[in-house]
Structure 1
């Protein structure tokens, strides 16, 4: 999760349709998984691990991000959250990498590094932006290196030493709208894509419509291998 987006939305991040919907998709993808200790890599504010602490029996979360100025600790739902710039070994049974791998040159190497830090049997939930043809100024603003097709992020997981359970796209309902806006915008700007965030606070009606469109997908979130703005991969350390 990028701290630049946290800065834009501030305390309203939990109300924004995109993050609200992604958190619900995460919970559906982890249905049946009962985590105890969460390792949240590139966690930013810890939005996603905090959601799991509030809504599941998870006992604690370790949030790792090189952007933190210093190590710190807090509580979420009475449970400890440890913010660290780095960690060595964590006895985590769930590892989150929510929109992280697209930021680094060596995505396989980073993922493998965290595979080594957790016990066998640990579940990994990875999300990345989907489809390179959707590249825009928003990607430049967030300092992305690439976007992924589903088979590409699954290949990264396997090469990092994980066994892929399943993968899927999400935000398929809003995909045609977003794709049209990005492609038209890119054509208008030719090859000069300026860093510009496309994340903004919407009118409450628009926000709820987009959230409702995304919620319609939840029953099929595990099987959508056709299209979406986000690619998810659920894997396990064998």
Structure 2
């Protein structure tokens, strides 16, 4: 996709067992089940990168098609997963794909784009009437750091940003909720007090984590996930939103 590091797809694929990706998968899966029901829904993952989200959703029984602009992503797809090479920033939606999906997922995609509204409007064309979009983005501008620069982010979002962009793209907005609440504080400390420009820990190396710490945070994120089902989290380093195509 536009505004994405050259080795980003490989890096994402190699980091798929990181607690952060595993938790995001659960959050997106839960949002999809609430939006479109069980696993028979046709789902398109746009900007899929290493298909970290799509592979999880497919394992959960959803009928998933993976899509990215760079054919490199094809190397990382589970066997038999349908694929569409598509540039969300410029390509016309193929006639056969217009209105063909029950849901579209954009997992940490639009923060890389200079015109996220146009991309969301293009994503909307893939949906049937009443179809749903599920979007995740990095949140809290206070967490902005050189990591965001190297990741080629245009911004970090707040709830109002995401609401306005989905509305402008023609969606009826449903849920907008923070997640990654527990990691937000250590991320702030890491990115503001530890990382410095040029640090070797920036970029792809930031996904490196000890197995013990990864297991610890995986457990904490399971607790956060359970808590988020009964209360709205007050903040988080990520946002999720859902919208409906009228």
Do structure 1's residue 25 and structure 2's residue 27 form an aligned pair?
yes
Residues 10 and 40 of structure 1: CA distance in aligned 2, closer, same or farther (over 3 Å):
closer
CA shift in 2, pair 1:73/1:202, >3 Å: closer
Q: CA RMSD in A?
A: 2.7
Matches within 5 A, 1:150-229: 150-185=159-194, 189=196, 196-197=202-203, 199-221=206-228, 223-229=231-237
Query: Which structure is higher in helix share?
Result: 2
Q: Does 1:147 align with 2:152?
A: no
The whole-number CA distance in structure 2 between the counterparts of 1:230 and 1:116 is 26
Mapped to 2, the partners of 1:36 and 1:42 lie a distance apart of 19
- Residue 127 of structure 1 and its aligned partner are, at CA, apart by 0.3
TM-score (norm 1): 0.84
Equivalent residues in 2 for 1:29-178, closer than 5 Å: 29-32=31-34, 33-34=37-38, 35-56=40-61, 58-59=62-63, 61-69=64-72, 75-76=78-79, 80-86=81-87, 87-89=93-95, 90=97, 91-178=100-187
Q: Tell me the residue number matched to 1:14.
A: 16
Shift of 1:36: 2.2
1:189-212: CA deviation from partner (whole Å, max 9, x where unpaired): 4xx677932533322110011111
Deviation at 1:5, TM superposition (A): 4.7
What's the TM-score once normalised by structure 2's chain length?
0.82
Unaligned runs of 5+ in 2: 88-92
Q: For residues 194 and 122 of structure 1, do their structure 2 counterparts lie closer, same or farther at Cα, with a shift above 3 Å needed?
A: farther
Q: What is the Cα deviation at residue 38 of structure 1?
A: 1.3
Preserved CA contact (<8 Å) 2:46 2:67: yes
Distance 1:124 1:149 in 2: 18
Q: 3-state DSSP class of the match of 1:140?
A: helix
Q: CA deviation at 1:50?
A: 1.6
**Range that drifts further, 141-150 or 214-223:** 214-223
Is the 8 Å Cα contact of residues 9 and 201 (structure 1) preserved in structure 2? no
Instruction: Provide the C-alpha distance between the structure 2 equivalents of 1:162 and 1:216, rounded to a whole number of angstroms.
Output: 31
CA contact (8 A) 2:50 2:77 kept: no
Which sections of structure 1, spanning at least 5 residues, go unmatched? none
